[in-house]
Structure 1
Amino acid sequence: MGVLCKTSSFIKTVIKNRFFSLKSLKMCSCDNKIAKPEIRTLHYVFKIADRRKTMEFYKNILGMKVLRHEEFADGCEASCNGPYANRWSKTMVGYGPEDDHFVFELTYNYPIHHYDKGNDFIGVTIKSQDILKRAAENSWPIIKGNVLEAPGGYKFFIDDEPQSDNPIDKVTFSCSNLEETINYWNCILGMKVYSRDDEIKTAILGYSFKQTKLEFIQISEKINRAEAFGRIAFSCPDEQQLVIEAKVKQIEGKILVPLTSLDTPGKATVRVIILADPDGLEICFVNDAPFRKLSQYTPDDEKILIVQMQKDDERMLEEKKI
């Protein structure tokens, strides 16, 4: 019962914060060199255990499309697929090209069939009337407050209003100390504070009002990232990666992966630095120009995904026979 109550309070807080006003905007006075419009909020990474059910949700319920799909024989040097040294894939899904849309990276580790979920990730808010209609038409459960649950237990809060071209409004996370979290994201990483409520301990931050924003809600429990933990990604010019690295080193913050080049077969090589905020939320900053080449919309990639999902089905049938 306790877990249900905590989840319900999260939902109520997120719903309350859906319609924050610019009149209550509180800007931090930190003087930093990072808060520039060149930084783009790119995507959030979900670990998924069932590609077919997951794709049904993102395509048929949320109405997204497959933007690109990539297969990898070994684990990622930057732990993009988590702490797994195995074959894996990533599927990027969204409402439009990654150049100007916030999207999701769906990471699939072939040997893993389940991920324990922690309390670090609360949910994603999307503004759309069409999503609720599709959910009803496809008999997908709608939880009180217009909340949908994706395979894996990831929650999506749906604002029932006309859908814009970039309808993903914000991604919400738990934090253990709101003041420390704001200080890190605003004063160290240069995000603007768009809304803050010290009574219910929440804040909404972003690099641009038009981009998808991050919301943090302070909770009393210890942050548990469990196995399903994700990663939020941003792009910036090469020189800003160096500034970010220097600022994080200056405060002795966590750098999980120092500046590293990552190759994608047949595509561009990008450079990334992976950080962790005070509660361990993983943060990726990738250099913008190469990433724009890497992230080009490739519709034919969906055919590769379909073939691989068919092979997933065959493997599952074989496993049931054993």
Structure 2
Amino acid sequence: MAEASAPATLTPELLEWPKKDNRRFLHAVYRVGNLDRTIKFYTEALGMKLLRKRDVPEEKYSNAFLGFGPEESHFLVELTYNYGVSSYDIGTGFGHFAIATPDVYKLVEHIRANGGKVTREPGTVQGGSTVFAFVNDPDGYSFELIQRESFSEPLCQVMLRVGDLERSIKFYEKALGLRVVMRADRPQDKFSLAMLGYDEEEKTAVLELTYNYGVTEYTKGNGYAQIAIGTDDVYKSAEVVNAVTQELGGKITRQPGPIPGLNTKITSFLDPDGWKTVLVDNKDFLKELH
């Protein structure tokens, strides 16, 4: 019965909810093989601040939260170290994170001096004007460095590869209320991309989805985990996601409710490509911080 009645739950009122909701990107969550080494690289080479750290010995893991500003207002990385695990497979689907900076050349030299691996020297693409470069962190995660004169969110992108760009855009627009802020098609390089955000690229972090011509599936590896996004109503948001997954694919992996012991209400789901998003109650999240 639930299958038959589910599409009816995607009412116009429910579809409007993600657009009205008070949403922002909170964290990108991924696993690293040596927490202290990564913290040192992110603070000394990339210029991030260590905002908090927690150790959970009973579950054999530690977390560290790093970013360019306070958690209440900025997008952060949440690093997870699982006791005894020194390396991860990043897979073919995860692309990169990105950092906006006023001077890519200067930042690249600073990163190089701090032991970072530069995988693409600063420059522009043919016909383009934006200066960018790529570097790898100690675990092999890729960071794009983008030159911008003005920006409010230095940690500005998470790039994931998808097998059907139109389907993914529809999914994120409907399920999360994101909107396309930029699109590009590069037939000469055989890929298309879309940037999705809650505001323009200079004002907020965005999700960059890339479709490589002819590639419909990617490996996920076990390194990158998920993006966390804030919501004012986890239950209502989960209702929307549940209806959208029945139309476009994906699935809810954790029903909405409080995390035992922490009481923060969350729900989590996979998109049609298997990428995970966690929606976190805004008030509960702020309580966690104080």
Q: Deviations over 1:81-135 (max 9, x none)?
A: xxxxx41011000111111111100001002122112012100121123532421
SS at match of 1:34: helix
Among residues 129, 135, 141, which one is paired with 2:117 in the alignment? Answer: 141
Q: Which residue of the partner structure matches residue 268 of structure 2?
A: 274
Among residues 64, 85, 96, which one is paired with 1:91 in the alignment? Answer: 64
SS at match of 2:230: strand
Q: Which residue of the partner structure matches residue 260 of structure 1?
A: 257
Q: Which residue of the partner structure matches residue 242 of structure 1?
A: 235
Counterparts of 1:128-167 in structure 2, within 5 Å, are 128=101, 129=103, 131-145=107-121, 146-161=133-148, 164-167=151-154
Matched, 1:70 2:54: yes
Among residues 207, 210, 219, which one is paired with 2:198 in the alignment? Answer: 207
- Using the alignment, how far apart are the partners of 2:117 and 2:89 within structure 1? 21
Counterparts of 1:1-322 in structure 2, within 5 Å, are 32-36=16-20, 38-74=22-58, 86-128=59-101, 129=103, 131-145=107-121, 146-161=133-148, 164-198=151-185, 200-209=191-200, 210-219=203-212, 220=215, 222-238=217-233, 241-250=234-243, 251-252=245-246, 253-262=250-259, 269-296=263-290
- Using the alignment, how far apart are the partners of 2:151 and 2:164 within structure 1? 33
C-alpha contact 1:63 1:131 (8 A) present in aligned 2: no
- Using the alignment, how far apart are the partners of 1:184 and 1:260 within structure 2? 23
- Using the alignment, how far apart are the partners of 2:175 and 2:237 within structure 1? 8
Aligned residues: 251
- Using the alignment, how far apart are the partners of 2:151 and 2:241 within structure 1? 35
Q: Which residue of the partner structure matches residue 3 of structure 1?
A: none
Q: What root-mean-square deviation, in Å, do the aligned CA atoms of Structure 1 and Structure 2 show?
A: 2.1
Shift of residue 32, structure 1, vs aligned partner:
3.1
- Using the alignment, how far apart are the partners of 1:156 and 1:182 within structure 2? 23
- Using the alignment, how far apart are the partners of 2:114 and 2:150 within structure 1? 19
- Using the alignment, how far apart are the partners of 1:65 and 1:247 within structure 2? 35
Shift of residue 164, structure 1, vs aligned partner:
4.6
Q: Which amino acid aligns with 2:145?
A: I
Q: Which residue of the partner structure matches residue 313 of structure 1?
A: none
Unaligned runs of 5+ in 2: 1-14, 122-132
Shift of residue 281, structure 1, vs aligned partner:
0.7
More strand by share: 2
Unaligned runs of 5+ in 1: 1-30, 75-85, 297-322
Q: Deviations over 1:157-202 (max 9, x none)?
A: 1124457552122111100110110010012221111112355321
Instruction: Give the structure-2-normalised TM-score.
Output: 0.80
- The percentage of counterpart residues that share the same residue type is 27
Shift of residue 45, structure 1, vs aligned partner:
0.6
- Using the alignment, how far apart are the partners of 1:111 and 1:144 within structure 2? 32
Q: Which amino acid aligns with 1:138?
A: N
Q: Deviations over 1:283-312 (max 9, x none)?
A: 00000011012135xxxxxxxxxxxxxxxx
Instruction: Give the structure-1-normalised TM-score.
Output: 0.72
- Using the alignment, how far apart are the partners of 2:145 and 2:175 within structure 1? 31
